[in-house]
Structure 1
Amino acid sequence: MVVTVRSAEFGTEVAGFSEDASVVHNIGYALFNLGEYGVATIPSEGFLAAFLIAAVALDVAVDGAVYLAKREEGGSIVSAVGQAFTDGGRDGGER
């Protein structure tokens, strides 16, 4: 990583967006494919890819946390979020 950063050449000119351009709005336009109608002011497909990759990674992390929070005791699942996802009782009886 250090070799990559050290060997990268950055230009002297700073490239940016105009003051009236909104990256958030343009990501929304790219999500609904409205860029081809002239609504988008900056190309945002690269931002859209990063946005979707981050969304999938966060979803996997939350699903993993919920999976790890569950445990089994006596044949029934005991959840860390309460008895909403269990059979309702620890003894397996009906309520």
Structure 2
Amino acid sequence: MSSDGTRGTKPELKLGSHLVPGLAAVALFAVMALVFLTSSFPLAEARGFPEGASITASIGYAMFNIGQGDVNAEGFLVAFLVIAVALDIAIDGAIFLAKRGEEGVLEPLRTDGGTDGRRNGGDD
């Protein structure tokens, strides 16, 4: 309480179980920072792709088992196919939701603030 008898407006820290996820995130960050800062990255072993190599073409050759290409792309092939399937599922879901909305199962969005003009004598 202040000198005039009123309560202060300072924020108070509320302790409880809702702090656990935040503390877990801070602990995970500390562990990851410790691992990153204490690990060594040998630059002598760093390798890249050959100059002018086409990874896209190599993935295409690996998909059809042609055996050409500048890069061994079998490791990329699994990631490429997983991403392709995930995108296909997302597109199918979007189309399903769009068609469901057209058939009247989902209420279509209204641009007039949610009022139905047909009930009020409107012609839309």
Please name the residue that 1:15 is paired with. 47
**What TM-score do the two structures reach when normalised by structure 2?**
0.48
Whole-Å separation in 1 of the counterparts to 2:34 and 2:61? 36
1:45 maps to 2:100: no
Pairwise CA distance, 1:42: 1.6
CA drift of 1:12 comes to: 1.9
Q: Which structure: larger Rg? A: 2
Displacement after TM superposition at 1:5 (Å): 7.6
The structure where strand makes up a greater share of residues is 1
Q: Is there any run of 5+ residues in structure 1 with no aligned partner, and where?
A: 75-95
Q: Residues 2-56 of structure 1: CA distance to partner in whole angstroms, max 9, x if unpaired?
A: 5568636543233101112110110011011012xxx222210111111111100
Q: How many residues in Structure 1 have an aligned counterpart in Structure 2?
A: 71
Counterpart Cα distance in 1 of 2:33 and 2:47: 19
User: Per the alignment, do residues 46 and 62 of structure 1 end up closer, same or farther by CA in structure 2, a change over 3 Å counting?
Assistant: same
Rounded to whole Å, the distance in 1 between the matches of 2:33 and 2:66 is 36
CA contact (8 A) 2:50 2:70 kept: no
Matching residue within 73, 83, 86 for 2:104: 73
Task: Tell me the TM-score normalised to structure 1 length.
Answer: 0.60
- Structure 2 residues without counterparts, runs of 5 or longer: 1-27, 106-124
How large is the Cα RMSD of the aligned pairs?
A: 2.5
Identity %: 49
Partners of 2:33 and 2:77 in 1: how far apart?
24
- Between stretches 11-20 and 60-69, larger displacement belongs to 11-20
Deviates more, 1:51-60 or 1:40-49: 40-49
